[in-house]
Amino acid sequence: MAPPSSAFRTTVTGYALYKGREGQYAFLLHRLTGLGTLLFLIIHILDTSTVYFFPSLYEHAIELYRNPIFMMGEIALVFSVIYHGVNGLRIAIIDLWAPSKWAIGFTRNAIRGTLLLSLLLWAPAGAWMFYNMLLNSFPEVLRSIGLGG
């Protein structure tokens, strides 16, 4: 029997090398955004629960989340939630109400539209969050280009 790491390596290699085009990328992005959102929810529940039991640990976590790396993660989280939701709606609509639209051409266009709609919905929030990250973490950068207060 092969070790579990061998099966994992085979799976990852298969995902990376398979040429499924839009459908494969939508499948992978849907799974990754779902797992990313789940990871955030687990961390959020755990760190929020410390507010009652270990207030100093909660304060430390909040201070850590003010780090620009975590703020970039929050920007990615917003995209993950939006894409996962929009793609889930696309899947549900096609599977439940329009199974005749399973043709490759329509599916490819629907996937492209899903990504475009997700980016359009995410762009204002992502830009605003990025601006606030710069404003709070690097105000001198914004002042140097005439955007900071």
Tens digit of pLDDT for each residue in 18-62? 667 888 899 999 999 999 999 999 999 999 999 988 999 999 999
- For residues 84 and 33, the answer to whether their CB atoms sit within 8 Å is yes
Dihedral sign, Cα of residue 131, residue 132, residue 133, residue 136: positive
- For residues 41 and 77, the answer to whether their CB atoms sit within 8 Å is no
pLDDT given for residue 60 in this prediction:
93
Plot region of 146 (φ>0 → left; ψ -120 to 50 → alpha; else → beta): left
Average per-residue pLDDT in the chain? Answer: 89
- Alpha-carbon dihedral 48, 34, 128, 138, rounded to 10 degrees: 60
Name which residue leads in pLDDT, 13 or 34. 34
* 15, pLDDT greater than 70: no
Tens digit of pLDDT for each residue in 84-101? 999 999 999 988 888 887
Query: What distances in angstroms separate CA 125 from CA 29, 30, 121, one per listed residue?
Result: 20, 20, 8
- Alpha-carbon dihedral 40, 31, 72, 132, rounded to 10 degrees: -80
Q: In the CATH scheme, what is the code of domain 21-144?
A: 1.20.1300.10
Name which residue leads in pLDDT, 118 or 8. 118
> What's the rounded mean pLDDT across residues 113-132?
96
Global pTM value: 0.82
pLDDT given for residue 138 in this prediction:
85
pLDDT given for residue 124 in this prediction:
98
